[in-house]
């Protein structure tokens, strides 16, 4: 997987360095700016995949930073605010923030939100991920094209998302609940049969060995299956 770059714009140095350390430990490349103008410059320079942006900043505030960096090109933004105010939320979303976290938040929650936003961006094509190969099957997220041994195969959007999600976590066993939450956005655990029927369709189109059933648990794409 290509390394994702995240810009953190936060004037409180202790919070900024804690966030940066956590994100680096998650495998992200991280750049930090301590005020709004520096944040805008940094975004223009490094063209990050995502921005973690504090709302209350000296100089120009987070909303203005958000406007300026979005003018350049669309980039996912997660806003941080000390105030749990509905107005902030609405204004923030209006200027193009993708998600919101009120301080104090756990680093774990921030990481979860970042992964969710990046996945959403990849899914909608705003942020195409790198292509993924599983045996003789190649997935190209930028165009959502799938080839098996060089031959184009048609997948439905959900089939593509499901296979891409499994393939991006090669070696991991994913439960039906996890797949429903991440691919379908269902959080109530309903629809386990939906997963099974999509896996069946994928096997029919791309080969029975593509996805392994882990009985009583869920599904996996094995690392050995990848080229
Ligand atoms: Ca601040």
* Contact indicator for 107, 113 with CB cutoff of 8 Å: no
0.95 exceeded by pTM: no
In the chain the domains, ranked by start, together with CATH numbers, are 5-123 (3.40.50.2300), 132-226 (1.10.10.10)
pLDDT of residue 89: 62
Cα 74 to averaged position of ligand 1 atoms, centre (Å): 23
pLDDT of residue 225: 46
pLDDT of residue 63: 87
Q: What is the mean pLDDT for each group of 10 consecutive residues in the chain (227 residues)?
A: 87 95 95 96 93 91 89 82 66 68 88 87 67 87 86 88 88 90 74 86 92 93 63
Angle formed at CA 189 by CA 121 and CA 99, multiple of 5 degrees: 30
pLDDT of residue 227: 44
Cα 87 to averaged position of ligand 1 atoms, centre (Å): 17
Cα 53 to averaged position of ligand 1 atoms, centre (Å): 9
Cα 72 to averaged position of ligand 1 atoms, centre (Å): 23
- Cβ atoms within 10 A of the Cβ of 145, count? 15
pLDDT of residue 189: 65
Cα 117 to averaged position of ligand 1 atoms, centre (Å): 22
């Amino acid at each position: 997987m290509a390394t994702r770059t995240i810009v953190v714009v936060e004037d409180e140095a202790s919070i900024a360095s804690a966030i940066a350390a956590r994100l680096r430990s998650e495998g992200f490349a991280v750049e930090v700016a301590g005020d709004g103008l520096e944040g805008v410059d940094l975004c223009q320079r490094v063209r990050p995949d995502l921005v973690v942006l504090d709302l209350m900043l000296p100089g120009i505030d987070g909303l203005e930073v958000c406007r300026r960096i979005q003018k350049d090109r669309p980039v996912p933004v997660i806003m941080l605010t000390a105030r749990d105010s509905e107005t902030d939320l609405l204004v923030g979303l209006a200027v193009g923030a993708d998600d919101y976290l009120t301080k104090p938040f756990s680093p774990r929650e921030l990481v979860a939100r970042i992964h969710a936003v990046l996945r959403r961006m990849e899914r909608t094509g705003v942020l195409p991920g790198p292509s993924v190969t599983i045996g003789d099957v190649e997935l190209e997220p930028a165009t959502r094209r799938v080839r098996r041994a060089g031959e184009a195969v048609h997948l439905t959007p959900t089939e593509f998302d499901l296979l891409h999600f499994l393939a991006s976590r090669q070696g991991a066993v994913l439960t039906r609940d996890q797949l429903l939450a991440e691919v379908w956005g269902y959080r109530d655990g309903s629809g386990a049969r939906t997963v099974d029927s999509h896996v069946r369709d994928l096997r029919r189109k791309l080969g029975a060995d593509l996805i392994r059933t882990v009985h009583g648990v869920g599904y996996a794409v094995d690392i050995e299956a990848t080229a």
